[in-house]
A and B are shown apart, each in its own frame.
Chain A
Amino acid sequence: MPPRSEIPARTYRDAGDLDEAALLILVDGDRGLARELAVIFLEDLGPRVAEITEAVTGRDPDRLRAGAHALRGSAATMMANNVSVAATALETMGRSGLLDGVQQALEELNRALALLRPRLVALAGPGVP
């Protein structure tokens, strides 16, 4: 299987990016709540990614662990599995202090986020920045 970066633009909705069916089960079918969660997640996303990026740039394992942990939990709750997995990899690196390959792990996170964002914006509905 080719690396994720070599896969052409998606023409299908991957549950790995956002498992909407699982999210709806989590909110007991309340689409309004699912929309609200998408809005909250998108609002928090910018500062969270900035924190992780700065930790990677500054090669700060503690900051990376904390920042990636926060995104990992949030993404897991949103059923954004690929983002959660990518954040887990960064959290593990921060926890161990072994930052070899951290740049590639950050790129993987950004790829997963690029696929997640439009899905969440669509879920959140009009009026979301």
Chain B
Amino acid sequence: MKILVAEDDAVTRKILGATLERLGWDVVTANDGEAAWQVFETLRGKDAPDLAVLDWMMPGVEGIEICRRLRATPGFEFIYVILVTSRGDKQDLSEGLAAGANDYITKPVHPVELEARVRVGERMMNLQRSLAARVTELEAALGEVRALQGLLPICSYCKKVRNEANYWEQVDSYLTSHSDVKITHGICPVCLEKMMEELDATPV
């Protein structure tokens, strides 16, 4: 998983980056909010970070503003955001979470706490990816089902089906061309008996 660390304080940026790298994550760093936003813009659709650890107070664009921008930008709206703050005020935390942050952590950031919070984020991102893949599968399946929906005109006598081009075609041919069904041909017991009777009645 790729993680963006945006922090203007060099000491905190260094310790956050080193801790996350030691735990095996791919880390990109930015030294202010504008640089952080540039990372997302530059890596859009290719290799953008899945999770961002953003300092709340940075010169220029603050972490909370990056968070708002991410939530309002298609493609970035599900990035997991952890705000880093040295504030302990509940009102501030409420404001951060309302802006779309998933979690927050206070300075000094303890490595064990950071790892625990990032692992929660990683689980959330994996779950989200898995759900997105499942939705794609379901949409594809639904598309196939829809191909066989609607009113199907069928001849009451010969059982041929009238297709979109207004031609009458065999049911098996129609099904093969309108679905993923593969047809094997056989004979049912009723038809078999009837056919045997006909054969018996046929003069040799």
Partners in one complex: yes
Chain A positions near chain B (C-beta within 8 angstroms): 25-28, 30, 33, 36-37, 40-41, 43-44, 66, 69-70, 72-74, 76-79
B15 within 8 A of A: yes
Q: Which of B87-129 contact A (CB under 8 A)?
A: 107-111
Q: Is the pair B111, A28 in contact by a Cβ cutoff of 8 Å?
A: yes
Residues of B within 8 A of A (CB): 8-12, 14-15, 18-19, 22, 55, 57, 59, 86, 107-111
Q: State in angstroms the CA–CA spacing of A111 and B14 once bound together.
A: 27
Chain A neighbourhood of B8, CB < 8 A: 70
Bound: A69/B15 CA distance, A: 18
Does B111 lie within 8 Å of A74, measured CB to CB?
no
Min C-beta distance of B92 to chain A, whole Å: 12
A33-B15, A37-B14 known; A72-B108 Cβ under 8 A: no
Closest B residue to A32 by CB, please name it: B18
User: A residues within 8 A CB of B11?
Assistant: 37, 40-41, 44, 74, 77-78
Contact A77 B111 (CB under 8 A): no
Contacts of B109 in A (CB 8 A): 26, 77
> Which residue of B9, B15, B55, B86 is within 8 Å of A27 (Cβ)?
B15
Most buried by B among A37, A40, A73, A74: A73
Would you mind naming 12 contact pairs between A and B with Cβ atoms under 8 Å apart? A25-B110, A26-B15, A26-B110, A28-B111, A30-B22, A37-B11, A44-B11, A69-B86, A73-B107, A77-B9, A78-B11, A79-B108
Neighbouring A residues of B14 by C-beta, 8 Å: 33, 36-37, 40
Interchain CB contact under 8 A, B107 and A28: no
Instruction: Tell me the bound Cα distance from A25 to B19 in angstroms.
Output: 11
Chain B residues contacting A37 (CB-CB under 8 Å) are: 11, 14-15
**Given known contacts A44-B10, A76-B86, A77-B15, what 9 new A-B pairs fall within 8 Å (CB)?**
A25-B110, A25-B111, A27-B15, A36-B14, A74-B10, A76-B107, A77-B12, A77-B107, A77-B109
